[in-house]
């Protein structure tokens, strides 16, 4: 968790970043967890990947659709750490904190784990 140190002001910035990340994570999760069961199955995860690639590549939609189809199982397995066939919020949290260069131990995961419907 974030320690409060009123001398530097850095904790306020860290808290703001953490709050934004938690908001993003909950909003993101609610968008892709269509059935609300707390896990992303392969279909839900494929929608997530397609949205990610669409934001990065404005080229031909057929090209990135093929990329996703070719690499999908490999990408899914990368996220699905326990190999149970679904991606949990914990697994996505680990991936996203790493992607954003955040220290997961500095984030109150209980706030992330709560669904905001």
What pLDDT sits at residue 53? 66
Domain contains 5: no
Q: Is residue 43 part of a domain?
A: yes
Give, in degrees to the nearest 5, the angle at Cα 87 between 93 and 85: 160
**pLDDT score, position 3:** 39
Question: Is residue 67 one of the residues assigned to a domain?
Answer: yes
In a domain, 3, yes or no: no
Pick the closest to residue 21 from 115, 109, 83, 82 (CA basis).
109
Range of the domain at 34: 10-113
Residue 4 lies in a domain: no
Answer yes or no: is 66 within a domain: yes
Q: Is residue 100 part of a domain?
A: yes
pLDDT greater at residue 20 or residue 60: 20
- The tens digit of pLDDT for each residue in 61-104 reads 666 667 777 888 998 999 999 999 999 988 988 887 887 777 76
Query: Total structural domains in the chain?
Result: 1
pLDDT-derived band at 117, boundaries 50, 70, 90: very low
Q: Domain containing 35 — which CATH number? A: 1.10.238.10
Residue 27 lies in a domain: yes
Nearest-CA neighbor of 17 among 89, 117, 106?
A: 106
């Amino acid at each position: 968790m974030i320690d409060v140190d009123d001398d530097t002001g850095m904790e306020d910035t860290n808290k703001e970043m953490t709050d934004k990340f938690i908001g993003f994570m909950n909003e993101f999760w609610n968008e892709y967890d269509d059935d609300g069961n707390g896990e992303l199955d392969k279909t839900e995860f494929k929608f997530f990947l397609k949205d990610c690639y669409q934001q990065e590549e404005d080229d031909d939609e057929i090209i990135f659709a093929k990329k996703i189809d070719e690499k999908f199982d490999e990408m899914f397995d990368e996220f699905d750490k326990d190999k149970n066939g679904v991606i949990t919020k914990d697994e996505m949290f680990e991936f996203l904190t790493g992607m954003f260069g955040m220290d997961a131990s500095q984030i109150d995961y209980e706030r992330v784990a709560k669904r905001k419907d």
